[in-house]
Structure 1
Amino acid sequence: MGLTGEQVVRNFRFYSVFPDNEEFAVRDESKEVGSILSPPPQGERFALAGRTWEVMEIDLKRKTVYAKQVKGKVRTVWNGGGGSIHSKILQRMKRVLKEDITYSYLQPGAVKRLCEARDLVR
């Protein structure tokens, strides 16, 4: 195999089951709101964490996208192959968004986000 081959095979990425994607942290002022795989160009809008964001700046060296939350909707683009969700789960999600039930076990922030999601659907 040789020295070069051994260096490749002994690297933890060689045995990785999932591809090693480079993620960009998305920050809104001082807090991190999530991460994305490929940042949109500056000025573009994207969806993350159920909200719409506008790219203010991209720091390639730090792999960070600085964004601000904005009003409105954007078309969600799903790159890659996510897992499949059973149709019964999707049907229940749709029902939750269309109904007006308040779930007592939700924390206040979750109640607010559910209301925002319901407003977007209606």
Structure 2
Amino acid sequence: MLETCVPTGVELKDTGFGYTLSLIGGKYKMIIMYKLSDNKVMRHNELKRSIGIISFKTLSIMLKELEADGLIIRKEFPQIPPKVEYSLSERGLSLLPLLNMMCEWGEKNSSRTLEVLECKA
């Protein structure tokens, strides 16, 4: 299947596969999208607490990149103190089936699952 997605002689970055990776690649982008899919709307500190290991600066950078790519919506409320909420855009929501497939694959192929299958054999 990837042979048609990344033809011989074509650079990965010039393919649909490469483009998708450029949008969701990296350590935290898929995690952020997963958290937003569960909670619908989250504020910066909520996201940081739910992810745990991400720094404030890294989260800010990832959110800006996801917003620039049209995958999340940043809604700012004019109040004091400032309030900003993040949610998935329609474009971001369209990637959820891909994230779900990755989750299913991980469940089927994790070392935990494979150990259970080996014990049954």
**Does TM, normalized by the shorter one, top 0.5?**
no
Task: Give the TM-score, by structure 2 length.
Answer: 0.25
Higher Rg: 1
Task: Give the TM-score, by structure 1 length.
Answer: 0.25
Q: Which has the higher helix share?
A: 2
